[in-house]
A and B are shown apart, each in its own frame.
Chain A
Amino acid sequence: MKSFELAQPGSLDAAIRASGESFVASRWLAGGTDLLATIKERVDAPERLVNLKTIPDLASIEVTAERTVIGALATHTEVAEHVGIREHHPALVEAILATATPQIRNVATIGGGLCQRPRCWYFRHPDYPCRKKGGATCYAQEGENEFHTIFDNGTCCAVHASNIAPILLAYDAVLIVRGSGGEREVALDDFFVDPDDNVMVENILAPGELITRIEIPAAARGWGEAYVEVREKQSFDWALTAATVLVKASGGAVEDSRVVLSAVAPRPLRLPRVEALLRGRVDEEALSAAGEAACAGATPLEQNGYKLALVRATIARAARSAISRARKG
C-alpha cells in the first residue's frame, strides 16, 4: 500500500482546508473500514487522509418532535442503540443489525456507510482496470456477475451495497453537506449518481465536500416499517436483495406507502409504481402484484436471474411485516 499523509483537523473548517490544499488527492477518513481496505488493495491511492474523528460534535444523535438528526460520524452501533432511534426508526435498526459484524459496526460510521465504494470484485482487484477505475471494460457484464445488479446495468453493474441507504431514502432523509463554499442540503434521492452519467463516482459530493449530518423529517414516524434482506450466510454477509417498506395504515386500509429496493441496482431504488399497489386494502394478491411490479424493467445478467425471485419474496415480506406492524401501531 502506498504511503499517505494523515491530517488530524480540530474543526470542520480546518478539515475542509486540509482536504483542498495544494490539489492533493485527499479522502475523508471516518471509521476507515472501507477506505483503508481500498488503499491496501491498491484500488485507491490517495496522498492524504483527513481524519474526521478528530472534529468534535460530528457524532451526535438527536431525536426531537420535528426531526431526527444523525451526525455523519455516529457509528452504526451508536445509532442502533440510541433510545429515540429504537423507538421511532425500527427498520433503520433492523438494517444496521444486518450490516457487517458487531466489530465493524462499532467503528463504521453512518456517513461512511452512505459513501462506501462498491464491492464488485473486479473493482476491488488491482489487476482489473475496469470502467469504474477509468478503464474501458466492465468485466462483470460478461464475467462473474452472480451478485451484481439486475437494473440499470448497461455501464456498470456494481450494486450499491449500503444497508442504511434504502431506509434513509424511504424516510426522505436530507443530507447536510459542507464544503469550502459553505453548507447545502441534498435530498438523499438526489445524492446518488447514475453510472451512465459518471461511472467513476457513486454520489454527487464534489472534492472537498463532506456530509456532516443526516436529517430525517418526523413525517413518516409511526408508520409501520420493515427491512427484509436475503443473503447466503447469516453471519456477516452482503444482501443478495433487500426490500424496505413503510406504510401508514388506519383501520384495515393502507393510506400511504414507500418502497425501496436495494442490492439490485447502482443506487437504492424507490419504486412509486409499487407504492401505488400497496395502498388501500392490501391482500396476498396485491402483495404478489407488488412483487411482480417491482421486477418490471429488470435486465438480469447471465448469473443473477435468481434475484428476481428474491425481489418478489422480499417485497411481499417487507410489506406484510410493515402492514402488520402499522396495525399493531
Chain B
Amino acid sequence: MVAEMKIKVGFEGHFEELTVTLPDGDVPPYQPGDDLKVVGRSVPRSEALLKATGAARYSYDQRPEGLLYGAILRCPHANATIREIDTSVALAMPGVKAVVTAPDLFESRECRYAGSEVAAVCATTEAIADEALRAIYVDYEVHPFAVTLDDAMAEGAPSVGRGNQVNVDRTSPRTARQRDGSLNEDREAEIRANLDEQEERIKGILRAAAVVVSRTFRTEVQTHCPLEPHGLVCEWKDGKLIAHASTQATFGAQFELGRRFGTSPQVICEHVGGGFGSKFSAGREGVIGAHLAREAGAPVRLMLDRRAEQIAVGNRPDSIQKLTLGLDKEGKILALRIRNWGSSGTGMGGSGAHNDLIYQLGEVDKVEYGVRTNNGGARAHRAPGWPQGAFGLEGLLDEAAAALGIDPIELRRRNDDHRIRLAEYQIAAERSGWKEKHGRVRREGPIRRGIGMASSLWFSAGGAGAAVLVRIHKDGRVEVRNGAQDIGTGTRTVIGQVAAEELGLRADEVTVSMGNTDDPRGPASGGSTTIGTVTPAARLAAHDAKRELLEAVADRKGWQAGELDLRGGSVVDASGSAVLSFKAACALLDEDAIEVLRQRPTLSRRSANYDGYESTNAGVQVAEVAVDTETGEVRVERVVAVADSGKILNPKLAESQVRGGVIQGVSFALFERRIMDRQQGVMVNADMENYKILGAADCPEIDVVLVDVYNGRNNTGVMGLGEPPIVATAAAVANAVSNALGTRMTSLPITPRKVLEALGKAPRPATGRKGTSL
C-alpha cells in the first residue's frame, strides 16, 4: 500500500510543490520550516575525541593474545611466471608458524606486475617474518613487459596479457568477443559499422559548427594512500573466522571470505584509517591472512607496508583523452568527439574517464579503450573516472569559451539545465569575484594570478540494502545499530542525529554502533551512497520505536498514545507540555528494552527512491592560483566550493567532506603521480616522499558554500558527499593555471617542469622512448 502526499521540494528561493508517493509505513520527508533540533545542526563527530586522542582502535591496533605477524613476499619482476617455489627453509626457521604460496592459494603461477603476491609467512616477530621471506627460494621465468601507456600501445609492444589477450582493446562499446577471448567477427563488424556511422555523423556536425576546438589531455595514476594500510588481524575461534579488517565493506568482506572458506566470518571494523575506494574487498591480503591464521592455529596480523600500499591495492588509472568539441556561435554545444585510453593494470575495464556526463553536449561520439600494462590493478578511487574526465572536458570548454569570446561560466550556463547548478554558478561567481578577476590576469613581477572554474555531478540518493536496529532500554539508554562502517565521512554521527531527532533527545544521548557484521545489514561504503541508504532506515526505526514507547507509556498511564510525542528529553502531551521525562518513560517498560528493526523504505523493487526534485547532486568550484613564471611553481590560493547533497543533515561534517575533496583534488592537480621505471617495470616512488601528496603548506583557503536541497526522494532526503567534491577541483585548478599563463595546460599533475615547458622555458622531452629491458 502506498500513500500520496504533497510536499515542498527545492531550495532557498526555488521551492515548489510536488506530489510524491510514499511507501507504506514510511515517515514523510523533512520539510522546509520543520522545527528540527538535532538534524541540520553542526553536531561534532561522535568519535572525534577518540580519534584525536588515539583512543580509537583500528584494525592495526588489535592485539589478541598470541598474535603472529604475517608478511608477504612480492615478485620483483614486472612480468614473470613462477617455475618453482621452495618454502622449506623458511618453514623450518625458529619462530615461523606457517607459510603459504600464491600458486597454492590463487591457482596461478603468473606474476604480472612487480609487487604481485608470491608467498607469505607468519612468525612470532616481524623481524623473523621478514627474514623468512628472504629464505623462500623462487625461480622465475621472466618475460618482457610494458608499464606505461605509451610502451603498451606502441607497435610491437610486448604482450602484457596471456593467451590471446591484446594490450589495447575497446572497452566502450566493448569489443565483441567470444568466451575464450577470440573475436566474434560478425558482432564486431556490426559494432564497427555503427561506430563508423556515428563518427561520420559527428564529422558532419563539426564541419557545420562555428567553432571547433580539439585537444589531447593526459592524467597520471593516482594512488589512494590511506594512512592505515590494507589488511586485517584475524583468528579462528571454534571454526569461525573473526576478522578485524580495515575495510569499507564489512559485509562484502564477510561474503568474500565466507565463500572462500565455506563458513561465514564475523567482520569487525569500528574505525577505518581511510579507504577512498580501495578497501571494498577482503583482498589477497585478507585471504592470505585468514589462511595463515588457520594453518598456524593462532591470531595473525597481516597489514601491508607502504610500498605494497602504493603498488598492490589499487589506484586511479591514468588517461589519455583526445577531445574535439563543436559549438554554434552562441556557444551552444553541438557535438563532442571523444577517444579515451587508460590502464587499469593487467586487466581491462574500469579505466574510463567520464568526460561526457556533465552539461548538455549535443551529439556525443565516444569510444574508449583499455590498455593492459604490467601494473597493479586499479580500484575505485574517490569518484572513479570523474576528476580526470572533468579535467579534459572543462579544459576544452574553456578553450571554446576563449575562441568564442564568451565568459566561461556563461558558456556553461548556456549548456546546462541542472536547476541546482544554475543557481550555484551565481553563488560561485559572486563569492570568488569572478567578474573582476577572470578577464584580467594579475601580474606581480614574475607571478601571474589566474582563476578557473569547473562543475561536478553525482548520483547518490542511496538505495535498498540496509536495516537499522533501534533499542530503547528500560534505563533510558538508546542504541542504534547497523553493521556497515563509517569510513570517516561522519555516517555514524549523522545516523545518531536522525534517530535522536525522532526521539526528542540530544545527539550524544544516542549511541550508534557500526562496523560489525553481527549487526543488521548495511551497504558497502562506496559511491557516496551510505548515508542515503542507512539514514532513512534509522529514521523509520527510531520513529517506530518512539511510537512503541509512547504506546507503552499511554497504556501504563491511561493516556492517549496518539496525543503524545517525544521532545526535549520528555514525553509531551497534545499541548506540547512535558508530562514525563524520557528516562521515566523508559522505566515504565515491562520488558528490558524496546527493539525495532526496520528496512530502508523503498518505493518498489525497481526504484529505491521517490520521484522527487533533481535526482543528482550538482556543484561548482572556482580556483584561484598564483603561478611563478620563472620557477614554474603553482600555488592554489583559494578555492570556492559550492556543494549540495540533498538535505544537509550536519553542516560541519558536510563541509569537512567538501574540504577533503578539494584538498585531494588540488593534490591530484599539482602533485600526485605514480612514476614507473621502464627498465625494470618497477614503481620508483612507492612511498610518501617521492609520491607527493599535498601537505598543510600547500593547502588553499577553502570557502565552502553548502546549498540545502529538499529533494523529497526519501524520508531524510540526504545524498552522499564523499565523492562529489573532488570531481571539479583539478579541472578548476588547471583552468586557473591556463588562465594565468594564457596557454592551455593539458597534462596533470602541473609540476614546475610542466609549467616551464608550457612557457617554452624548458625543453619538452620526446615521448615514447623505449625502455631497455635488463
A residues whose Cβ falls under 8 Å from a Cβ of B:
1, 3, 119, 121-122, 125, 127-128, 139, 142-144, 146-147, 230-237, 240, 302-303, 305-306, 308-310, 312-314, 316-317
- A230 touching B752, Cβ below 8 Å: yes
Number of A-B pairs whose CB atoms are under 8 Å?
98
Q: Which residues of B contact A316 (CB under 8 A)?
A: 630
Task: Please pick, from B630, B698, B757, the residue contacting A233 in the complex, using a CB distance under 8 A.
Answer: B698
C-beta contact mask, B674-718 vs A, less than 8 Å → 1, else 0? 011111101011000110101111100000000000000000000
B572 CB to closest chain A CB, in angstroms?
53
- B752 touching A234, Cβ below 8 Å: no
Chain A CB within 10 Å, residue with most, of B671, B692, B753: B753
Q: Which residues of A contact B757 (CB under 8 A)?
A: 306
Q: Which residues of A contact B632 (CB under 8 A)?
A: 230, 306, 309-310
Given contacts A308-B762, A310-B752, contact A233 B127 (CB under 8 A): no
A158 CB to closest chain B CB, in angstroms?
13
Q: Report Cα–Cα, A142/B594, bound state, in Å.
A: 71
Q: Which residues of B contact A305 (CB under 8 A)?
A: 762-763, 765
Q: Which residues of A contact B753 (CB under 8 A)?
A: 146, 303, 306
> B633 on the interface (CB 8 Å rule)?
yes
Given contacts A121-B685, A302-B765, contact A235 B697 (CB under 8 A): yes
B718 CB to closest chain A CB, in angstroms?
34
- B127 touching A234, Cβ below 8 Å: no
Q: Which residues of A contact B114 (CB under 8 A)?
A: 127
- B761 touching A309, Cβ below 8 Å: yes
- B679 touching A306, Cβ below 8 Å: no
Q: Report Cα–Cα, A306/B696, bound state, in Å.
A: 26
> B614 on the interface (CB 8 Å rule)?
no
Chain B CB within 10 Å, residue with most, of A121, A128, A302: A121
- B679 touching A240, Cβ below 8 Å: no
Q: Which residues of B contact A232 (CB under 8 A)?
A: 633, 670-671, 692, 751-752
- 5 residue pairs from A and B, CB less than 8 Å apart: A232-B671, A233-B695, A234-B695, A235-B696, A313-B630
Further 9 A-B residue pairs, CB within 8 A, beyond A232-B692, A302-B769, A309-B630 = A121-B684, A121-B690, A139-B680, A143-B679, A144-B684, A233-B670, A234-B695, A309-B631, A309-B762
A139 CB to closest chain B CB, in angstroms?
6
B666 CB to closest chain A CB, in angstroms?
11
Q: Which residues of A contact B698 (CB under 8 A)?
A: 233-235
B448 CB to closest chain A CB, in angstroms?
15
A156 CB to closest chain B CB, in angstroms?
16
C-beta contact mask, B438-467 vs A, less than 8 Å → 1, else 0? 000000001000000000000000000000
Task: Please pick, from B130, B446, B675, B761, the residue contacting A144 in the complex, using a CB distance under 8 A.
Answer: B675
Q: Report Cα–Cα, A146/B772, bound state, in Å.
A: 18
Task: Please pick, from B130, B679, B690, the residue contacting A142 in the complex, using a CB distance under 8 A.
Answer: B679
A249 CB to closest chain B CB, in angstroms?
22
The chain A residue with its CB closest to the CB of B76 is A127
> B756 on the interface (CB 8 Å rule)?
yes
> B635 on the interface (CB 8 Å rule)?
yes
Q: Which residues of A contact B677 (CB under 8 A)?
A: 122, 139, 143-144
Q: Which residues of B contact A128 (CB under 8 A)?
A: 680, 682
Q: Report Cα–Cα, A139/B678, bound state, in Å.
A: 10
Q: Which residues of B contact A312 (CB under 8 A)?
A: 630
The chain A residue with its CB closest to the CB of B692 is A233
A152 CB to closest chain B CB, in angstroms?
20
Q: Report Cα–Cα, A317/B446, bound state, in Å.
A: 11
Q: Which residues of B contact A146 (CB under 8 A)?
A: 753
Q: Report Cα–Cα, A286/B94, bound state, in Å.
A: 70
- The 4 A-B residue pairs whose C-beta atoms are closest, nearest first, are A235-B695, A306-B762, A234-B697, A313-B630
Q: Which residues of A contact B130 (CB under 8 A)?
A: 1
B residues whose Cβ falls under 8 Å from a Cβ of A:
76, 114, 127, 130, 446, 630-633, 635, 670-671, 675-680, 682, 684-685, 689-690, 692, 694-698, 751-753, 756-757, 761-763, 765, 769, 772
A2 CB to closest chain B CB, in angstroms?
8
Q: Which residues of A contact B761 (CB under 8 A)?
A: 306, 309
B74 CB to closest chain A CB, in angstroms?
10
Q: Which residues of A contact B631 (CB under 8 A)?
A: 230, 309-310, 313-314
The chain B residue with its CB closest to the CB of A316 is B630
The chain B residue with its CB closest to the CB of A291 is B630
Q: Which residues of B contact A235 (CB under 8 A)?
A: 694-698
Q: Report Cα–Cα, A287/B102, bound state, in Å.
A: 61
- B675 touching A1, Cβ below 8 Å: no
Q: Report Cα–Cα, A240/B751, bound state, in Å.
A: 11
Q: Which residues of A contact B684 (CB under 8 A)?
A: 121-122, 125, 143-144
Q: Which residues of B contact A231 (CB under 8 A)?
A: 633
Q: Report Cα–Cα, A310/B755, bound state, in Å.
A: 12
Q: Report Cα–Cα, A127/B677, bound state, in Å.
A: 12
The chain B residue with its CB closest to the CB of A230 is B631
- A234 touching B635, Cβ below 8 Å: yes
A108 CB to closest chain B CB, in angstroms?
14
Chain A CB within 10 Å, residue with most, of B130, B671, B679, B772: B679
Q: Which residues of A contact B772 (CB under 8 A)?
A: 142
Q: Report Cα–Cα, A1/B125, bound state, in Å.
A: 12
Q: Which residues of A contact B446 (CB under 8 A)?
A: 313
Q: Which residues of B contact A147 (CB under 8 A)?
A: 690
Given contacts A122-B684, A235-B696, A306-B757, contact A139 B690 (CB under 8 A): no
- B762 touching A233, Cβ below 8 Å: no
Q: Report Cα–Cα, A305/B384, bound state, in Å.
A: 34
- B692 touching A125, Cβ below 8 Å: no
Chain A CB within 10 Å, residue with most, of B76, B676, B690, B694: B690
Q: Which residues of A contact B635 (CB under 8 A)?
A: 234
- A139 touching B679, Cβ below 8 Å: yes
- A230 touching B633, Cβ below 8 Å: yes
Q: Which residues of B contact A302 (CB under 8 A)?
A: 765, 769
- B765 touching A125, Cβ below 8 Å: no
Chain B CB within 10 Å, residue with most, of A147, A237, A314, A316: A237
Q: Which residues of A contact B670 (CB under 8 A)?
A: 232-233
Q: Report Cα–Cα, A280/B765, bound state, in Å.
A: 39
B603 CB to closest chain A CB, in angstroms?
48
Q: Report Cα–Cα, A236/B693, bound state, in Å.
A: 10
A229 CB to closest chain B CB, in angstroms?
10
A268 CB to closest chain B CB, in angstroms?
19
B650 CB to closest chain A CB, in angstroms?
29
A64 CB to closest chain B CB, in angstroms?
36
Q: Which residues of B contact A119 (CB under 8 A)?
A: 689-690
A264 CB to closest chain B CB, in angstroms?
14
- A309 touching B756, Cβ below 8 Å: yes
B696 CB to closest chain A CB, in angstroms?
6
Task: Please pick, from B680, B689, B695, the residue contacting A127 in the complex, using a CB distance under 8 A.
Answer: B680
A95 CB to closest chain B CB, in angstroms?
17
- B678 touching A143, Cβ below 8 Å: yes
Q: Which residues of B contact A234 (CB under 8 A)?
A: 635, 695, 697-698
A220 CB to closest chain B CB, in angstroms?
27
Q: Report Cα–Cα, A230/B629, bound state, in Å.
A: 12
B773 CB to closest chain A CB, in angstroms?
11
The chain A residue with its CB closest to the CB of B114 is A127
A238 CB to closest chain B CB, in angstroms?
8
Q: Which residues of B contact A142 (CB under 8 A)?
A: 679, 772
- A303 touching B752, Cβ below 8 Å: no
Given contacts A125-B682, A233-B695, contact A306 B756 (CB under 8 A): yes
Q: Report Cα–Cα, A317/B447, bound state, in Å.
A: 13
Q: Report Cα–Cα, A308/B632, bound state, in Å.
A: 12
The chain B residue with its CB closest to the CB of A234 is B697
Q: Report Cα–Cα, A182/B397, bound state, in Å.
A: 71
Q: Report Cα–Cα, A217/B240, bound state, in Å.
A: 72
The chain A residue with its CB closest to the CB of B690 is A121
- A1 touching B697, Cβ below 8 Å: no
Q: Report Cα–Cα, A237/B635, bound state, in Å.
A: 15
The chain A residue with its CB closest to the CB of B130 is A1
Q: Which residues of A contact B695 (CB under 8 A)?
A: 233-236
B183 CB to closest chain A CB, in angstroms?
37
B576 CB to closest chain A CB, in angstroms?
54
Q: Which residues of B contact A3 (CB under 8 A)?
A: 127
